[in-house]
A and B are shown apart, each in its own frame.
Chain A
Amino acid sequence: MSSAAAEGHVSEHVVSLKIYITIFVTLLVLTGVTVLVATIDLGRLNVIVALTIAVTKAVLVLLYFMHLRYSPRLTWLVTGAAFAWLAILIGLTIADPLTRSLLVH
């Protein structure tokens, strides 16, 4: 590639087609797995398994489709902050209803 590319984006990473296809196939397999697991009664584990698979899929999309893996540290920080604040929002909100009927001694 010419000097144009060098002048353009220095930080950008070209991901190989093989990786894209691999991720795509993995996502499909995980979708199949999550549907299958849902039909088995695992009690409370059902939710945990479903969410673990969803998080795995999301992380794969983030890292490879969205190139996060090849992005500057600031992008990681921004993404991390989003999930940290999401955790604050959900966690501290439901901390109330979940402990509402408990008494303090």
Chain B
Amino acid sequence: MSSHAAAVTHQHQFDDAAQQYEASALGMWVFLVTEIMFFGGVFTAYVAYRSAYPEAFGHASNHLDLTWGGINTVVLIGSSLTMALAVHASQIGKRGTLVTCLLLTMLLGSVFLGIKAIEYADKFHHGLVPGPAFHYQGADAHQAELFFSLYFAMTGLHALHMIIGLGGLAVLVRQASRGRFSPAYHTPVELFGLYWHFVDIIWIFLFPLLYLVERHT
């Protein structure tokens, strides 16, 4: 038995560390299922309204900034890569690489939120925030307001998940730098990775659905 093995404790309700790991992993996947259904509600609203008002959605979508959206997609995919590398580092026990990768993921996540904030500010500035101040130049202003309601609901929920993710990353960085993780025990890193990639997947759908409608016109 190496010194690592002694560190692999398990909670009293489990028979061994393997059972604990399997239960935790299953728990995380089941949690992600609830997240999919949670976002599923707004996606349903989106599908219903886009199929009802395709042109209005096309026009409204052209008010979003494709450049920022594109950059953000790349940033988020990059953060998924650094997160995957963090899991990899934890699996092979490279503490320094693990901390670096987690910090990089945090950095990229913050860049994403920063860009999102710029975009939001721009929408406020141009009166594209739903409500009494909504001021939209163009046809189908009402349906465009519907589009922007969905835009803010979907990206807002997504950004909220990013913020929660950044909090999780901060905890992981702290634990990792204290040497909590080893090749034998790094379940939190791995399961958090699942969450982070899930948030990435949501964006992978949000990007074409919100930014790329009728871009050819």
- A-side residues, CB < 8 A to B, are 1-5, 7-12, 14-15, 17, 20-21, 23-24, 27-28, 31, 34-35, 38-41, 46, 50-51, 53-54, 57-58, 61-62, 64-66, 71-72, 74-75, 78-79, 81-83, 85-86, 89-90, 93-94, 97-98
Contacts and interface: CB of A to CB of B under 8 A. Distances in A.
B51 A8 contact: no
Contacts of A11: 21-22
Dominant SS among interface residues on chain A:
helix
B193 A66 contact: yes
Given A65-B193, A93-B48, A34 B36 contact: no
Interface stretch (B37-45, B106-114, B153-161, B170-178): B37-45
A35 B44 CA distance: 23
B208 interface: yes
Dominant SS among interface residues on chain B:
helix
B51 A94 contact: yes
Contact of A3 (B5, B78, B193): B5
Interface in B163-215: 182-185, 187, 190, 193-194, 197-198, 200-201, 204-205, 207-209, 212, 214-215
A102 to B, nearest CB: 15
Contact of A4 (B16, B36, B47, B184): B184
B206 to A, nearest CB: 9
B133 interface: no
